[in-house]
A = this chain, B = another copy of it.
Amino acid sequence: MIAVRKLKPAPGLEMTETEIPKIGPDDVLVKVKACSLCGTDVHIYKWDAPWDTRVKPPRTLGHEVCGDIVEIGKNVTSFSVGDYVSAESHIADWKCFQCRIGNQHVCLNMKLLGVDVDGAFAEYVSLPEANLWKNPKNMPPEVATLQESLGNSVYTVYSGDIVGKTVTVFGLGPTGQFAIGLARVAGATKIIAIGGTKLHLDVAKKMGADVLINRHEEDVVKRIMDETDGIGSDVLLEMSGSPEAINQGLKSLRRGGRVTLLGLPSEDVKLNWSSDVVLKEAHINGIWGRKMFDTWIITSRLLGSGRLDITPIITHKLKLKDYDKAIELAASGQAGKVVMFP
């Protein structure tokens, strides 16, 4: 089969012919219908830290995927050949301390699809039964492949109350745009989007933002305080990873407000801890991945019921063979989600 692989410990990727994966007794073989790009793929392409030491070539990339099951291992009982599935990309051991208290998503021995094992930028991918999610037949492949990525935002936005809340969303890449849509369908009553380009703010408006702030053109904290009668936001969704945004978000949060963090700063963050965290009674929680499978149920139902429409965020659909262009688009900061088809 054809696969997009990292063949050498160096920048770049190659499309090569390789063998269809052999599956184990607890795995299934999936014929890929669609796969999609994430920032991690871009970093591995560029051979950035910490991926340059973690990924061991040769390795097929890709962890966002949907497709049809074409073969099942002998222990597989809850899925069948012909099922249309997506994949949770975090492969837990289901045995460690964290797995035993229901935190499989932070398994102490976790493997990542397309990083530690061969992934889905290919015609076929092998997946453990425990990582499968069954899709409704009528879900378009370009949507079904995005559930893993959307799930990060689902877990972020719904990790606390959202209905009737004033919410700030910092960072308008795909996870931030998803967050706006998710806040909207769950009854947030004032959604304030903070971004840096007209393009991003236009998409935010389409997704349901009520207030748009261009961080280059306005005093972000002042505007949020004005929009909240001087009290501050109830909920801060931090999707940017920018130290400046984290500080602005905390300063414009009301006392006792919620802060949920998905964005990953690449450097240390400096805070006025006393005023902006302790005395503010901020409730901060970090997010890693998705809850297995609480997050998937909500994600799947929101899409399947038609409550949530994420198509404004799917800006590009390409052939898998155009992976170089796909990577370039994803790296540009101008694209939303980029979906590829084998």
- Would you list which residues of chain A between 204 and 249 have a CB under 8 Å from chain B? 210, 229, 231, 241, 243, 246
Q: How far is the CB of A277 from chain B (nearest CB, A)?
A: 5
Interface string of A285-300 (1 = CB under 8 A from B): 1111001111011110
- Residue-wise, chain A 25-56 has the 8 Å CB interface mask toward B (1 for contact) of 00000000000000000000000000000000
Interchain CB contact under 8 A, A307 and B189: yes
- A307 with B187: CB separation less than 8 A: yes
Q: How many copies does the complex hold?
A: 4
Category for how many chain A residues contact B: 35 or more
Residue of B nearest to A79 (CB): B95
CA–CA, A305 and B298, complex, Å: 25
- B-facing mask of A79-111, CB < 8 A → 1, else 0? 000000000000000111110111100101000
A-B contact pairs, 26 of them (CB 8 A): A78-B95, A94-B130, A97-B231, A100-B296, A100-B297, A102-B102, A102-B294, A103-B256, A106-B255, A158-B161, A158-B163, A164-B301, A164-B302, A185-B187, A189-B304, A190-B301, A261-B273, A261-B278, A262-B278, A268-B270, A268-B272, A269-B271, A270-B271, A278-B288, A282-B286, A284-B284
CB distance from A91 to the nearest CB of B (A): 15
Q: Chain B residues with Cβ under 8 A from A96's Cβ?
A: 78
Query: Could you give, for residues 175-211 of chain A, a 1 whenever the CB lies within 8 Å of some chain B CB and a 0 otherwise?
Result: 0000000000111011000000000000000000010
Which of B163, B274, B285 is A298 in contact with, Cβ under 8 Å? B163
Answer whether residue A119 sits at the interface, using C-beta atoms and an 8 A cutoff. no
Report Cα–Cα, A291/B243, bound state, in Å. Answer: 32
Given A278-B288, A279-B286, A189 contacting B263 (CB threshold 8 A): no
Q: Decide if A265 is an interface residue (CB 8 Å cutoff).
A: yes
